[in-house]
Each structure stands twice: as C-alpha cells, then as structure tokens.
Chains A and B, each alone.
Chain A
C-alpha cells in the first residue's frame, strides 16, 4: 500500500503544479487580452482612457463613411445619443452599410478616434449583435422592428 500512497502523492503534486501553471497563464492572459465593451455614449462621457483594447458597438451613422486612397475607411458609430469616429484598414464585413449595427474591436487613440482591428456586422438580416441592441436600449433608442426587421410576419406567427 505504500506504493499506492506514493503514487497518489506524486499525482497530487503533478496536478497542483499543472493547475498552478495553468492558473498563472490564465490570469496573465486575462489581464492582457480581454476587451471590455463600451458604448459610444460612455466614450463621449470620457469614462475610458486611451490605449486599452475595447469593443464598441452601435449603428453606422448615415453619410459618415469616408474611403481613403490607401484602402482604409473612416466612419462614425452611433448609439443615437453620441457617436465616435472609427478608423479601420481591412476587409469590411459583407453586411457593412449605413444604418447597420456593427461591433468593432480595437484601441481608442489619444485624439478620440477609435482604431479598429476588426469590424463585425450582424450575421444576417434577422439578427442584431446583442451588444448593439443593448447599447441602443441604454441610449433610449430601440425599435423592436430592428430585430424582426426581415421580410414578412413569420416571426410573429409563432
């Protein structure tokens, strides 16, 4: 039975080492690589310091899209109460257009524009990114039709 005890002690030691190592990795990673979601209103209120990784969400403001010669793009994201200018170089999602709900991940620069590394739009006509819907609700602007906004009354037939 002594052998079994030694075996168990070794196993426990190994597990403790592994779990400890993994926890350290997880904590370090969580500190550096998570991004908080903020709304344009929160940005406008100056609640966010530049340099942190963030996700912002809202609607693409009408007539705000400017395409630069180097292939990058500028547009404003609004939650109808406030808006923030986003600068992005990369491929836009298929559903990107004015009035569309988008979520952008990136960093707020010192001049107040948001440098996006990734821009996502809702996946199809029927759904709105949940964060965007919540941001719009917070700003006091929400149409239920935005969610069921596709074609027909199928969603109501249930």
Chain B
C-alpha cells in the first residue's frame, strides 16, 4: 500500500512541478502577486510529496518487499540493514528518486531562505527549479519508475552488486548529488537574472551561498568516491580518469571557476555575463554527468541500466536545458551593462586568469571524456583515452594556476602592485625552492617533476599563510592585536586561506604518492617474508571467514620495520553467493606519512599472488579535500553571505561595531 502511496506522491509531485514551472511565470508577466506568490508554496508541496515518495521507497527496501521490481532486482533478504538502506540509491531508479528529492530540497530551501528576495526574482527562480523537476519526474514516471510492481512476487531478490556493499556507498552518492543538483540553483538564478534582464552585485551575493553549498558537497562527494575506489577496487590508486569520475570532476572545475567569478561580480560588479554563462555551464556539466552515467553509454559500475529509451530521454532533457538557456543567454546577455574596468595586474585580472585556466582544464577533460564517444558514433572506431592523456593535458594547466594563486590573493582590486606582492611572497618562494632542493637532494635526484610538485605545494601553502599573516600584521604588531585582527576578519577571507591550504595539501599528496609509490607483485606462501620500501612483510596465514552475506579468504600480513611490528593487516577476497561475485578488500594501514596497502589475489600453486604497495602521503589527498570543504563551510557561515543579506546590510555595520 505504501508503495502505491509513494507512486501516487510521485505523480502528484510531477503535477505540482508543472504548476510551479508555469504559474509563477504567468504571475510575473501579469504582475499578479497572488500567482507569483504561489511559487514558494508549490516548492514546499513538492518537497513534501517527494519526501513521501522517497520514504515509501526506503520502507519497501527495508521491509524486503520483493513485489516491487526495484527491490527485487537490487536487494536480498540476507543483505545487512545498512546496505538495504544505502541500496535504495544504489540503482538507477532509486538514485533518480534521490536526485529529484534533493532538487525539491533545494527548491524548498530557496523558498524558505529567499523570503527577502524580490518577489518576481524568487518566483522566476522557483519556476525554473520546477521546470527542471518536471523534466526529471517525467523521465522517472515514463522510463524509470522505482515503484513498478512485480507479479507474482518472488521469494527473494537478486541482491546488490557486492562492490557497492560498502559504507562508502551510504554517503558518496547523496553527497555527490547534493553537489550536482545543488548547481541547479546557480542555473535557476542565472536564468531568472536573464529573464529579469538585470545582474548586479546583490545577485552575486544571493547566488554565492548556494554555489558554495553545492561546491562543498561535490568536493566531499568526489573525495569520498575516490577514497572508495582506493580501498574497494584494490588497484592501489585513488583516481583513474575514468569517464564516470570525469563526469563529476567537470562540474567541480566549472563550479570552482563560478565560485571565483562570483566574487568579482559581488565585489566589483563586473564579469556579469561571464558569471551567468559559468552558472549555466556548471549545471549543464552536471546534467551531462547524469547523462553519461545514467544513459548506459559508458560501461561502469555506475551504469545501472542500458535501456536506450532512457538515454534518449536524458539526452533530450540535457539538450533542451542547455539549448534553452543558451538561447535565452544569446538573446538577453548582450543587453547587460558592462561593469567597471580593471588593470591587467589586479585581483580581478587574477581571478579572470583563474577562470580561464579552470575553464581550459574543464575543456581538456571534456574532450578526453567525450572524444572516444564522438569518434565511435561518427566512424565506428573504438579508442580509449587513458590517464596518460590527462597527465599530459590537465596537469600542465594546473602549474600556472598554482603559480598564480598566492599572487592573486595578495593583489589589490582594480590596480595591483605586482612588485610589492612578489616582495611579500619572498618567504613562499624560499619555501618552494627549499622543498624542491630537499626532494632532489634527499629523496630522488632523478625526479624533477616531483620537485616541481612539492615546490608548487609549498608555494601555495606558505603563500596563502603569508597572505593571512599580512592581513593580521603578524609579528609587526603585538600578538594579541594580531589575534584580535584575525577574529575581526570576515570569515570568507579566512575560509579562502583554508581552502587554498587544502589545495596545497592535495598537491603534496598527489605528488608524493605518484613519485614515491613502491609496488611489488609476487607469489607468497604462508610463513614467507618479503621486503618492500624498508618494511619486512610476512604472510602469516590464510584463513576462511564468514561475513553476513559472503564468505572470504582472509590473508593476515605482519609488517615490521627494524624488527619492530608496525602493523597487522587483513586483506580479503570475498565471495557473495547470492550475486555469485568476488570482491577484493585491500588490507590498508593508513598513517599521515604512508599507507601500507596489501592485496591478495588468486591461488598460485602452494601460495597466493599478492600485490604490495607503499603509498607515501596518500592520506593527504583526502585530508586536503576535507580541509577545502571546511573552508567552504566557513565561508558559508560568513554573515555577509547569509541569505537575505541585502535586507540586513545596515544591521551588519551595527553588529561589527559592537564586537569586542
């Protein structure tokens, strides 16, 4: 019964979404406040209905209701409860329910937080959100209904792909979707601004919290996904430039550019059209990601379904969303008034450079991801573009970006003083040179690229810290004064420093794990010992263990350094009888300085094939991503950016004045 209720709620939500898309626009056109004012109510209703639908699907999964096709195909009664829950979005139909639910959540949040926005603008934003929702709800109802029944009901389900049965799966997709779908707000704000024909600094101030929230979620979602790939796939790597990874990385790159260009618009009232274009592009890339992943054009663990009608439907959605917005952009954007000019050496120019580099990087990733698909469609020739392509294109573009980063943060608005800034970056330059020399002298003189990576990381980290130190006049005034200045700084300034620090740490992690990784494949018999990167590794033994819904061969390794036991690791090869499938669980001992990462393979005579890795500093990559996200969250907490800030602007001065 709840399943039918869920289905019914989904249909109602579709109707409400259509109303939400049309009525407010009519209301704005006719200057009818009653019709325009319907938008927030519709957004609330849609959120309520989709919550109901989502809850109904969760209940069907938790209660093992195999009369529901979606549950039958993706669940099994022996599956642990956590995975029954996470399995709701571990399949095509269920993940779409999550997608529209998050979309409705954002719509509702805008309706709640946007009460201070001008009525016509809010109505238009919510109408566009409704339009997106209507498109996706139609897609679900007509091609991918999660509530389809199966008669007669089978006794048990077919189970969930075992490599998805992992705690990481419980968090990775919702985070990623919060990011993907969160950028729909940027799209709606941009479309509403084009419809209004007006973009100004306050528009950027309204937009920024939503972009920030989406960006934080996407950052965490990508980091979680990469972490999952690291420990679940057993390949020792954390990023494979797989098309599915690229699909989430492209909106992240564009979203990062958007975040920065919105600063220029907010502070200086310039780069209007560019910011709008970026907002559209970012969401278009999110939709493209959904298309690539969900349409079955890519074969991967994410491509749950390869039903061509679905692919065509998503493609049509993508084309109409992108085509419609570009048409509107071409029509309205030329009418936008340009903002004030700036000198080639200025904060604005630095942020333009940031945008150009991030945009070009997005384009290279885009090309590498889609070129094989396009070529196959045109000529039938099958090629694959692997990591070497991305190493050769994406990575060189990041070098000038990292070089320019600390300089840009120190430049003044409008007209900057490059010589002065470079002087203040002396410490950062010294740190960079020291890092490069240390790497060359102590670690590996034949790895100039590693030296470059560490130098860039040191440059970014020390440069960002110098910028903050300069702001609070560290060591130039008494320490207590500096501390007071630090507390008085806008949170967004501290947040930027933290996010850039996180980026620096990521560069350290990537460089170290790429340059210093040691890998060894061999056949080991129980009791045998081998040596890798200064560690003495002993295969203690292999035992059979039973999990809740699998059996496993578990290898126990002991790693010693100078005779001292450092870590005991367990690597498993699991067999899931329901799905008749094997998975690998790497044995990982993680620390700040290095990961020991041992994988057990097939039996080979008396022994087993084992693959041992020592990955230096690899944890810094996820740690850095986490710090970046913390920076984003802190910026979100900035008073100035709270939604409805324009109405409270006078109050802000008051509050700042009363601060101790």
List A residues at the B interface (Cβ < 8 Å).
3-4, 7, 10-11, 14-15, 18-19, 22, 25-26, 28-30, 32-37, 55, 67, 69-71, 89-92, 94-95, 105, 122-125, 127, 129-131, 134, 150-152, 154, 157-158
Pairwise interchain contact B356-A14, C-beta atoms closer than 8 A: yes
Pairwise interchain contact A25-B364, C-beta atoms closer than 8 A: yes
Q: Tell me the minimal C-beta distance from B404 to chain A in angstroms.
A: 12
Given A22-B397, A151-B158, are A91 and B579 also a contact pair (CB < 8 Å)? no
Pairwise interchain contact A71-B161, C-beta atoms closer than 8 A: no
Contact with A along B366-391 (1 / 0, CB 8 A): 01100110000000011111101110
B119 within 8 A of A: no
Pairwise interchain contact A22-B235, C-beta atoms closer than 8 A: no
Measured between alpha carbons, how far is A34 from B356 in the docked complex, in Å? 26
- The residue among B353, B521, B583, B611 with the most chain A CB atoms within 10 A of its own CB is B521
Partner of A14, one of B301, B353, B363: B353
Partner of A36, one of B352, B381, B609: B381
Q: Tell me the minimal C-beta distance from A127 to chain B in angstroms.
A: 7
Q: Tell me the minimal C-beta distance from A125 to chain B in angstroms.
A: 6
Residues of the A chain whose Cβ atoms lie less than 8 Å from the Cβ of B306 = 127
Partner of B72, one of A11, A28, A67, A154: A154
Residues of the A chain whose Cβ atoms lie less than 8 Å from the Cβ of B583 = 94
Pairwise interchain contact B353-A30, C-beta atoms closer than 8 A: no
Interface residues of B in 126-158 (CB under 8 A from A): 150, 154, 158
Contact with A along B580-599 (1 / 0, CB 8 A): 11111000000000000001
Contact with A along B294-305 (1 / 0, CB 8 A): 000001110100
Measured between alpha carbons, how far is A90 from B610 in the docked complex, in Å? 9
Pairwise interchain contact A25-B573, C-beta atoms closer than 8 A: no
B418 within 8 A of A: no
Report the stretch among B49-57, B217-225, B491-499, B600-608 that lies at the interface.
B600-608
Residues of the A chain whose Cβ atoms lie less than 8 Å from the Cβ of B344 = 7, 10
B522 within 8 A of A: yes
Pairwise interchain contact A18-B69, C-beta atoms closer than 8 A: no
Measured between alpha carbons, how far is A127 from B184 in the docked complex, in Å? 32
Pairwise interchain contact A26-B367, C-beta atoms closer than 8 A: yes
Residues of the A chain whose Cβ atoms lie less than 8 Å from the Cβ of B609 = 71, 91-92
Residues of the A chain whose Cβ atoms lie less than 8 Å from the Cβ of B372 = 34
- Nearest-CB residue, chain A, relative to B154: A152
Measured between alpha carbons, how far is A11 from B342 in the docked complex, in Å? 11
Residues of the A chain whose Cβ atoms lie less than 8 Å from the Cβ of B167 = none
Pairwise interchain contact A36-B300, C-beta atoms closer than 8 A: no
- Nearest-CB residue, chain A, relative to B342: A7
Contact with A along B438-459 (1 / 0, CB 8 A): 0000000000000000000000
Among all A-B residue pairs, the 5 with the closest Cβ atoms: A33-B388, A37-B382, A29-B392, A94-B582, A33-B389
Partner of B234, one of A36, A55, A91, A105: A91
Measured between alpha carbons, how far is A70 from B44 in the docked complex, in Å? 64
Q: Tell me the minimal C-beta distance from A42 to chain B in angstroms.
A: 11
Residues of the A chain whose Cβ atoms lie less than 8 Å from the Cβ of B35 = none
B163 within 8 A of A: yes
Residues of the B chain whose Cβ atoms lie less than 8 Å from the Cβ of A25 = 364, 392-393, 396-397
Measured between alpha carbons, how far is A32 from B388 in the docked complex, in Å? 8
B166 within 8 A of A: no
Pairwise interchain contact B573-A94, C-beta atoms closer than 8 A: yes
Pairwise interchain contact B521-A89, C-beta atoms closer than 8 A: yes
Q: Tell me the minimal C-beta distance from A77 to chain B in angstroms.
A: 16
Pairwise interchain contact A69-B158, C-beta atoms closer than 8 A: no
Q: Tell me the minimal C-beta distance from B354 to chain A in angstroms.
A: 12
Given A36-B381, A36-B383, are A125 and B579 also a contact pair (CB < 8 Å)? yes
Chain B interface main SS type: mixed
Residues of the A chain whose Cβ atoms lie less than 8 Å from the Cβ of B234 = 91
Measured between alpha carbons, how far is A155 from B344 in the docked complex, in Å? 61
Interface residues on B, range: 35 or more
Pairwise interchain contact B386-A154, C-beta atoms closer than 8 A: no
Pairwise interchain contact A19-B360, C-beta atoms closer than 8 A: yes
Given A95-B581, A124-B161, A124-B581, are A33 and B385 also a contact pair (CB < 8 Å)? yes
- Nearest-CB residue, chain B, relative to A3: B341
Measured between alpha carbons, how far is A92 from B521 in the docked complex, in Å? 11
- Nearest-CB residue, chain A, relative to B352: A11
Pairwise interchain contact B602-A4, C-beta atoms closer than 8 A: no
Residues of the B chain whose Cβ atoms lie less than 8 Å from the Cβ of A105 = 384, 386
B426 within 8 A of A: no
Contact with A along B57-91 (1 / 0, CB 8 A): 00000000000010011000000000000000000
Pairwise interchain contact B385-A30, C-beta atoms closer than 8 A: yes
Pairwise interchain contact A125-B521, C-beta atoms closer than 8 A: no
Measured between alpha carbons, how far is A90 from B609 in the docked complex, in Å? 9
Pairwise interchain contact B341-A4, C-beta atoms closer than 8 A: yes
Pairwise interchain contact B163-A123, C-beta atoms closer than 8 A: yes
- Nearest-CB residue, chain A, relative to B300: A123
- Nearest-CB residue, chain B, relative to A130: B299
Residues of the B chain whose Cβ atoms lie less than 8 Å from the Cβ of A131 = 382
Measured between alpha carbons, how far is A71 from B521 in the docked complex, in Å? 7
Measured between alpha carbons, how far is A6 from B525 in the docked complex, in Å? 72
B357 within 8 A of A: yes
Q: Tell me the minimal C-beta distance from B386 to chain A in angstroms.
A: 6
Partner of B601, one of A55, A92, A150: A92
Measured between alpha carbons, how far is A30 from B73 in the docked complex, in Å? 40
Measured between alpha carbons, how far is A70 from B609 in the docked complex, in Å? 9
Residues of the A chain whose Cβ atoms lie less than 8 Å from the Cβ of B384 = 34-35, 37, 55, 105
Given A14-B356, A26-B364, A129-B299, are A124 and B393 also a contact pair (CB < 8 Å)? no
Residues of the B chain whose Cβ atoms lie less than 8 Å from the Cβ of A11 = 352
A-B contact pairs, 26 of them (CB 8 A): A18-B357, A19-B360, A22-B397, A25-B397, A26-B393, A29-B389, A33-B386, A34-B385, A35-B386, A67-B602, A71-B521, A71-B522, A90-B611, A91-B601, A92-B602, A94-B582, A123-B163, A123-B300, A124-B161, A124-B162, A124-B163, A130-B299, A131-B382, A151-B158, A157-B69, A158-B69
Pairwise interchain contact A35-B383, C-beta atoms closer than 8 A: yes
- Nearest-CB residue, chain A, relative to B387: A33
- Nearest-CB residue, chain A, relative to B396: A25
B523 within 8 A of A: yes
- The residue among A25, A91, A92, A130 with the most chain B CB atoms within 10 A of its own CB is A91
Contact with A along B507-530 (1 / 0, CB 8 A): 000000000000001110000000
Measured between alpha carbons, how far is A133 from B163 in the docked complex, in Å? 23
Residues of the A chain whose Cβ atoms lie less than 8 Å from the Cβ of B342 = 7
Pairwise interchain contact B523-A69, C-beta atoms closer than 8 A: yes
Pairwise interchain contact B383-A22, C-beta atoms closer than 8 A: no
- Nearest-CB residue, chain B, relative to A38: B382
Q: Tell me the minimal C-beta distance from B74 to chain A in angstroms.
A: 10
Residues of the B chain whose Cβ atoms lie less than 8 Å from the Cβ of A124 = 161-163, 301, 579, 581
Pairwise interchain contact B584-A94, C-beta atoms closer than 8 A: yes
- The residue among A7, A95, A122, A125 with the most chain B CB atoms within 10 A of its own CB is A7
Measured between alpha carbons, how far is A91 from B368 in the docked complex, in Å? 26
Residues of the A chain whose Cβ atoms lie less than 8 Å from the Cβ of B581 = 94-95, 124-125
- Nearest-CB residue, chain A, relative to B240: A118
Pairwise interchain contact A154-B163, C-beta atoms closer than 8 A: no
